[in-house]
Chains A and B, each alone.
Chain A
């Protein structure tokens, strides 16, 4: 099918394009990107006046739960959530059961993703076998099977020597290593950010330094080994400062944050609502301000939602026993657009943090609207107001603290490889 996207504001930060243009899609590729492309007979024309056309959004940090935890999410349901949220590509963390620490699991994920045939799904392989932090996985074999990054997300590599070896070995394959930075000794037993609200609620605290110490350590290891490191879901002012400083010194450090870390503070936990329980925990207002500064000045390269779907049984328990995580794919863009409305980021920069920046970090040939590229495109309605309704989530995980929240702006068309995978254009505004 040939598609012509007419008269939208095209924003492609990778080429510094921000102009009213048409985009022609043929055979799954971008065939042209110009003003006033004439439509031939066999082309389906979509008038996108007032809309924004962006390179397909990429979320480099999601949990799809399959294999093993299909009651929370499947690769199919997670992919459906992705395209509904405007994401054409997602990278899924290896903490499934079994852990994605070998070729067979990677191949299984890719097969399931192909069957779902919605978003591009890129598996992330485990750094250590079983993510247990002892023995490295076979990076070459995993890469051949299709992983595009390594991480022991959720079970950070505590052993500094193992981290050193992982960064060195991965650098010989040019595989990015993503670290969930948390010193498990400092965070042990903690349930929320350590501070006034933890004191008031009587919940054991997770100090900001649990994150900062690990960020500092990993920056030092990356510097020494002359390798690169990507810091996942930054939540603290201290981590932002450390990363900013590392970048200023020319180190190859990149970082992401998640929408909840620039939207919510630990004050939200006052009713012990387990939907606010995430790892790292929601931090203080000062941390939220620092995250926004980090996004604005480029310290934080990427917004990734850390999509962590859970079933009711995982959340409808005492706060202490509830599992961490927010089902985020279907609210990520809406919350991120709020940064533009607040004046934190210009829209092209926001789109860059959700398309070409993650593509660059993951070595993906995506995130640009250039002729011949895969036609992965997200069309955004910048003004449409909508209300978050978790019951309508495509994700099996309805665990969202944003339920009922008013949003402005959302994806209305998600095109993956030239095919429309989500069409919300006709929905009521």
Chain B
């Protein structure tokens, strides 16, 4: 087994295909642990992981915590609010204090793009980016790729459609990097106000209509729409958004008959995805994503801790 040649997991953009494959294969081998009656292995006993979350998160934080615990690492959760940080202690000071307590891995989520990079450049510990602003969310893209591979047997050659607010989505960026590296054809769709400038230079085709993007897609990934964007006039109303960008029984027929539907959560039922699609075991793999998320994060902890040494 090869080793991961990195101290940190900051994004998929700077990850090689070999590294992605290594993480996915390692994660696949960890899946079984979560099905055992005693869901714990001693692999990371004596290691400690700090989850430093500057943004509210249920799923991702819990996933990292469970991943650490199943490998017998000590996991510590810190919830901080950025508003107090702006006025009080700096991120660097917080991080240096944590470093002085000698954890092995720090998982950080932050509303400011680049915050994990700042920590990675200063600390000797491994940093995992659990989402930074609209930049990257690498563990999400890895669990998405793992789920696609699991359901489709491959990634290369598939058509994957990402629908929604691409401009503000770190999930979209990480998936675009990962999926294009792995040989998928990636298309995105959303109103022009939700399209980042020069997105085509990232190797994707952009559409303004959902129907154009999901035509013949193997994978349809719906992104969460955030209500507060309405105030910035990114879109006029949820009502109108849902009328044109909600995945439903009718428009999903444009995708391949065996297409799978994904969502990074949390879902706005009836806004970007209709409940009967979200709950349809025939196409929805949303809960498989969550299950695979634990395995992917176990793999990241394991590989950053030295792998099979």
Chain A residues in 8 Å Cβ range of B114: 201, 203, 272, 318-320
B-facing mask of A201-224, CB < 8 A → 1, else 0? 111110100000000000000000
Q: In B173-221, which residues have CB < 8 Å from any A CB? A: 173, 196-199, 201-202
Neighbour of A205 across the interface among B117, B135, B197, CB < 8 A: B197
Are A202 and B198 neighbours in the complex by a CB distance under 8 Å? no
Closest to B169 in A: A202
CA distance A372 to B154 in the complex (A): 82
Chain A residues in 8 Å Cβ range of B117: 271-272
Are B90 and A196 neighbours in the complex by a CB distance under 8 Å? no
CA distance A319 to B91 in the complex (A): 11
Are A203 and B133 neighbours in the complex by a CB distance under 8 Å? yes
Known A-B contacts A196-B197, A198-B197, A317-B90; the reply to A203 vs B13 at CB < 8 A is no
Are B112 and A319 neighbours in the complex by a CB distance under 8 Å? yes
Chain A residues in 8 Å Cβ range of B115: 318-319
Size class of the contact patch on chain A:
20 to 34
Are B113 and A320 neighbours in the complex by a CB distance under 8 Å? yes
Chain B residues in 8 Å Cβ range of A248: none
B110 within 8 A of A: yes
Q: In A186-208, which residues have CB < 8 Å from any B CB? A: 189, 194-196, 198-205, 207
Q: In B219-251, which residues have CB < 8 Å from any A CB? A: 232
Are A200 and B197 neighbours in the complex by a CB distance under 8 Å? no
Neighbour of A321 across the interface among B112, B132, B135, B202, CB < 8 A: B112
Size class of the contact patch on chain B:
20 to 34
Known A-B contacts A201-B114, A201-B135, A203-B113; the reply to A318 vs B198 at CB < 8 A is no
* Nearest CB of chain A from residue B210's CB, rounded to whole Å: 21
Known A-B contacts A272-B118, A318-B118, A320-B113; the reply to A199 vs B197 at CB < 8 A is yes
Chain A residues in 8 Å Cβ range of B110: 318
Closest to B122 in A: A316
Q: A320-B113, A320-B133 are in contact. List 20 more A-B contacts (CB 8 A).
A: A196-B198, A196-B201, A198-B197, A199-B197, A199-B199, A201-B135, A202-B113, A202-B133, A202-B134, A202-B136, A203-B133, A203-B134, A203-B135, A204-B134, A205-B197, A271-B121, A272-B118, A318-B118, A319-B114, A320-B114
11 A-B contact pairs sorted by A residue (CB < 8 Å):
A189-B232, A199-B199, A200-B173, A201-B114, A203-B113, A271-B121, A272-B113, A272-B117, A272-B118, A319-B115, A320-B114
- Interface residues, chain B, with chain A CB atoms under 8 Å away: 13, 86, 90-92, 110-115, 117-118, 121, 132-136, 170, 173, 196-199, 201-202, 232
Q: Across the A-B interface, give the 3 residue pairs with the lowest CB-CB distance, nearest first.
A: A202-B135, A272-B114, A202-B134
- Interface residues, chain A, with chain B CB atoms under 8 Å away: 189, 194-196, 198-205, 207, 271-272, 313, 316-321
